[in-house]
Amino acid sequence: MDASSQDVSGALLDWYDAHARDLPWRSLPGSPPPDPYRVWLSEVMLQQTTVAAVKSYFAKFTDRWPTVEALAAADEGEVMAAWAGLGYYARARNLLACARAVADSGGKFPSSEPGLRALPGLGAYTAAAVAAIAFGQRAVVVDANVERVVSRLFFVTEPLPGARAAIRRHADAITPSTRAGDFAQAMMDLGATICTPRAPRCLLCPLSSSCAARASGEAERFPVKAPKKARPQRSGRAFWVERNDAVWLVRRPGKGMLGGMRALPDDGWSARTDGEGAAPLSGPWDAGGVVAHGFTHFQLNLHLAVYRGDEWSSLAAQEGEWWPLKTIGDAGLPTLFAKAARLALAARGKDSR
């Protein structure tokens, strides 16, 4: 590193020593590195999700499955149910696949980036984060917080996602050869608490004297983002079939949208098409309201249809289960279907919790 890069990393590490966030998956500065299992689990959970949302899920997972071997031995349905509400459910399937691969290899995570990248579901970011934080390897760790810090520090004017190559080069230039894990976490903490998307607290920033965006007076403009494309609007139906204070639930296919999750039956809506499939029973059906829900690539209006008949025999030939309404919160429904369940239960005057 040149002198300016040393100044940046030194100033940031000094700040981190005094201001590091105390998080359940971390070791504080000066402590031995954390368990690689806990680092990996937290990093997977934190993708596209806030720290506040992850804390309770992390506690639940580590209490129930305290080691990678314990997670590897878990039932897939139980893991998917425990993940319900965190979103991006492919992460949960990859989580289990990775745990099983590590368990099959003796229960030890590889310590190098290439070895970690070879595991199922580990992309460049997660592999770098685990290598740096759990094993002290020099690795360039770039998440959304780091993108923001680096783009401001070096005045990267190219819009995302095209700017990512330049951001990575700059991040590489300031990543030290020692304390790489602390440096990666310091960058994350700085972006989360000081160099925030709106109203950055530049007067408190340890890098303010080196920051080109702050000198320009327009730090909040960075990172520059390309205009968002409008997400397509899709429509579908979900079916509420109730009998003897229980509701009919199905298991979604293992691959695809919300794969492997328990759910209400639906009409086959997807990111590409509106739903057109048949109802699980011939009827009669009443309209039960509409749930509006946003996915990454599309918006969905899910129309709830409530069964008002009393002939359920044809369900015997279908795959599903009757789930007690009083424990519907334990079914692990993804957020979309949990919303639909609350709508149906509110209409019948019962508490959904």
Quickly list DSSP for 317-332: GSS-EEEEGGGGGGS-
Mean pLDDT throughout 43-72?
95
H helix or E strand, kind and range, residue 344 = helix 335-347
The per-residue pLDDT for range 134-178, each reduced to its tens digit, is 999 999 999 999 999 999 999 999 999 999 999 999 999 999 999
Domains and CATH numbers, the chain: 3-221 (1.10.340.30), 233-347 (3.90.79.10)
Mean pLDDT throughout 108-117?
96
Please determine, for residue 2, whether its predicted confidence score (pLDDT) is greater than 60.
Answer: no
The per-residue pLDDT for range 324-350, each reduced to its tens digit, is 999 999 999 999 999 999 999 998 764
Position 75 scores a pLDDT of 92
Neighbouring residues of 153: CB distance < 8 A, sequence distance ≥ 6: 8, 170, 174, 207, 210, 211, 212, 213
**What pTM does this model have?**
0.82
The per-residue pLDDT for range 226-240, each reduced to its tens digit, is 888 889 999 999 999
H helix or E strand, kind and range, residue 19 = helix 3-19
pLDDT band (50, 70, 90) for residue 311: very high
Position 3 scores a pLDDT of 40
- What whole-number distance in Å separates Cα of residue 254 and Cα of residue 292? 24
Mean pLDDT throughout 85-93?
88
Secondary structure class of 31 (helix, strand, coil): coil
10 Å Cβ neighbour count for 322? 16
Supply the Cα-derived Rg of the chain in whole angstroms: 24
Please determine, for residue 259, whether its predicted confidence score (pLDDT) is greater than 90.
Answer: no
Mean pLDDT throughout 289-309?
95
10 Å Cβ neighbour count for 133? 29
Please determine, for residue 94, whether its predicted confidence score (pLDDT) is greater than 90.
Answer: yes
Position 255 scores a pLDDT of 81
Q: Are 118 and 163 in contact (CB under 8 A)?
A: no
Catalytic residues: 43
The per-residue pLDDT for range 179-226, each reduced to its tens digit, is 999 999 999 999 999 999 999 999 999 999 999 999 999 999 999 998
Position 1 scores a pLDDT of 40
Position 316 scores a pLDDT of 87
Q: DSSP string of 294-322?
A: E-SS-EEEEEEEEE-----GGGGGSS-EE
Position 256 scores a pLDDT of 83
- Name the strands in the sheet holding 233-240, side by side, starting at the edge strand that comes first in the sequence: 233-240, 299-307, 285-294
Question: What size, in residues, is the chain?
Answer: 353
